[in-house]
Amino acid sequence: FEVNFTDPYICIMTTLSQTKEIFRRADAVCFDVDSTVIREEGIDELAKFCGVGDAVTEMTHKAMGGSVTFKTALTERLSIIRCSREQVNKLITDHPPQLTAGIKELVDTLHQRNVKVFLVSGGFRCIVEHVSTQLNIPLHHVYANRLKFYFNGEFAGFDETQPTSESNGKGKVISMLKEKHGFKNVVMIGDGATDLEACPPANAFIGFGGNVVRQQVKERSLWYVTSFRELLKELEKI
């Protein structure tokens, strides 16, 4: 019996097994947050809360599909929302982000195995910090965008120096983490185009479609899951 490695199906299967092995041996796992760790898109929820939901949701689809640069989409969406500090705080209090089923167990399992877990998000730090606290992820393991407000609480833009405000920002964060901590196997898990682009420098990418399926990401992912329980099962093989 001879394996024909020119067969694309065989090649994908080989690479899929390698991706699974990298995940099992990972020393760091980076999760996207919106539509991955939590069930909603934070920026869309903020827009709805501020009464401009439809216009902003359309921009989010473009950003996640990769048809406009992330920074352009972020700038345009925030110029529509123009939320105050008070509105952001009220959103978090009245509509706290909803964790995706299985994420708490997965993060707990990774922590038990001494795997470092990071949240790397194009969303907003004020929302992501709330999520990290629920998952026992240290705040210094959070990389996200910072909203800026004037002293009276009015919207003043966002911090454009944060790497996560750029299209390839998640990759920049992963490169920095590898350099700083000496990680050998870093896995990126997420639902969107900006997550897929982070591999490389991530050693493996796992596409997540448990909340929303983005076709471009699904087609280009060697390993695509719709439940975090699939990842827990993989860890049980160790």
Q: Which of 27, 32, 44, 191 is catalytic?
A: 32
Cβ–Cβ < 8 Å for 186, 28: yes
Distance CA 190, CA 120 (A): 10
Cβ–Cβ < 8 Å for 197, 168: yes
Helices 85-94, 42-49: inter-axial angle, 10-degree rounding: 110
Q: 7 catalytic, yes or no?
A: no
Residues whose CB falls within 8 Å of the CB of residue 77, separated by 6 or more in sequence, listed in order: 43, 47, 56, 59, 60, 63
How many residues in total does the chain contain? 238
CA angle at 208 for the pair 236 and 6, rounded to the nearest 5°: 85
Distance spanning both ends of the chain, measured CA to CA: 30
Q: Which of 34, 44, 191, 195 is catalytic?
A: 34
Phi-psi category of residue 114: left, alpha or beta, with phi > 0 → left and psi -120 to 50 → alpha: left
Distance CA 171, CA 195 (A): 8
Q: 191 catalytic, yes or no?
A: no
Residues designated catalytic? 32, 34
